[in-house]
Structure 1
Amino acid sequence: MTVSTKRGRRRIRAAHAVRERVQRERAEFTSAYGRATTTPERFYAAAKALFRAVASKKALPNPADAERRVETVTGLLVQLADELLTAQETKADNTIRAEQKRIERRERRRNRECRTHQERPAGPLPAA
């Protein structure tokens, strides 16, 4: 057996291994995505599949193109993460302010009621 024949057989075995891995990962993705009932679950299934697909650059047919596309998706994800986190922070700030105002109103009302009870004269009310 020549060196080129051995090399060719190694490449064939490696290609079979890649194909089996890809088929297994595709089946896992399809199953996880199909089971997902919420948007975050579907996102996680897709992100996990994407991560696993680009983890092995040697198996990609065009690594430069794949890397460019992954960079584009990554940029969009960073932008989305920033928007979502900003929105969550704003909502939390609004909730804090609203609750603080509600507590202050309740305390003012309670203080007013306490003063009203203290200002009443003690003893029986005068007859009219």
Structure 2
Amino acid sequence: MAAGRDRVRRRGRRGAGGRGTRPDRWLYVDCEGSRQGYRDMEAFIDSRTDPERAERLSIAIQGRGAFRRFKDVLSRSPGEVEEWHSFSDERQRGRTRAWLADEGYCVAPRSPGRLAT
């Protein structure tokens, strides 16, 4: 979950305990495939202000190998690579927070100065 930037606590549950002592504290995480990642690329392309750049990225995501081609096109503009990573990371965190909330967890921002674990 986003490089430990968030802390998660089950609503209404507290206390310590390891994996073996509190199995109710652990969630199974299903593999969701690549659909959401593809939608992130589409949304990123829609956010581009340069129509030619958006067109090149749109062409890149057609068919097999879309993720690799998308990243290849992005790599030609280093500033855009960072924009993509920030955009994608935030969308992934949003999906993670929504999933955790659906499972009954409350997500709080990491405390300043606390190291990621």
Superposed pair shares fold, TM > 0.5:
no
TM-score by length of 1: 0.27
Which protein has the bigger strand share? 2
Which structure is larger by alpha-carbon Rg, 1 or 2? 1
> TM-score of the superposition, structure 2-length normalised?
0.29
